[in-house]
Structure 1
């Protein structure tokens, strides 16, 4: 039995490498599309998550933005300083901090959603609708397989 030699530089046979290239290019395109909104892709993910749930925890926000909880705290400080969010203590639970979008934050989140949709359309432009659905399903299954212990 022979072991097929693969190299990271060629990416030949490495589905994970191809996935990483696609993810990197997706991120680059999204960052370029978001440039006019004043927020990064990670910050946009946070604004969208807050828009969906103002009571979302910092840990959940960190997961949504693929950053550490420590990085999330810094990101929230920046978003608040720049006027995208307002943070106030919960009226009944002193330890819970409510985070809400300002009008500026809502506008940025909406623009970010449109940017993300445009980039995704570009990414999937060479696939049929069925291929795009299959790709999504296969990627979810791969992620689930890696989650199992």
Structure 2
């Protein structure tokens, strides 16, 4: 059985859905000035300004090295400011600017709209079941 057969692999179906979700989200975010990954970072920083670069990388599904470049870009473009922690010199505090807060809010609205579109063909019970099944599949595969 190949991914292009009538009874396609579930993983292949997940990848198609994920790819289309990402394309749709990128299209919705186009007016905000940030990508889907950058939006995930802004939302994570908004929730916790003391979040580590490693945690940010996990939130955005990128490597720690890519995260460092993303933070430099977000700072250069005025979405975040980074300052040394007043008591712990090695810790860098990252905070959203007004522009960053506005982009994060717009990104949240865009993500919610795309999710509503994605789930529009499902009942509430089916959406809840899908959420549970995907979580269980992810749990079965572990952290990787």
Any unmatched runs of 5+ in structure 1?
A: 1-5
Per-residue CA deviation, residues 79-120 of structure 1 (Å, 9 max, x unaligned), is 000000000000000000000000000000000000000000
Q: CA deviation at 1:8?
A: 2.1
Paired residue secondary structure (1:77): helix
Distance across 2 between alignment mates of 1:26 and 1:62: 20
Residue equivalent to 1:84: 79
The yes-or-no answer on 1:56 pairing with 2:42 is no
Per-residue CA deviation, residues 45-76 of structure 1 (Å, 9 max, x unaligned), is 00000000000000000000000000000000
Task: Please report the RMSD computed on the Cα atoms of aligned residues, expressed in angstroms.
Answer: 1.2
Residue equivalent to 1:3: none
Q: CA deviation at 1:13?
A: 3.4
Distance across 2 between alignment mates of 1:85 and 1:10: 47
Q: Which runs of 4+ in 1 moved over 4 A?
A: none
Residue equivalent to 2:22: 27
Residue equivalent to 2:129: 134
Which of these two proteins has the greater Rg computed from alpha carbons?
1
Paired residue secondary structure (2:95): strand
Residue equivalent to 1:66: 61
The yes-or-no answer on 1:125 pairing with 2:120 is yes
The yes-or-no answer on 1:18 pairing with 2:13 is yes
Distance across 2 between alignment mates of 1:29 and 1:14: 23
Paired residue secondary structure (1:100): strand
TM-aligned CA distance change 1:84 to 1:13, over 3 Å: same
TM-score, normalised on structure 1?
0.94
Any unmatched runs of 5+ in structure 2?
A: none
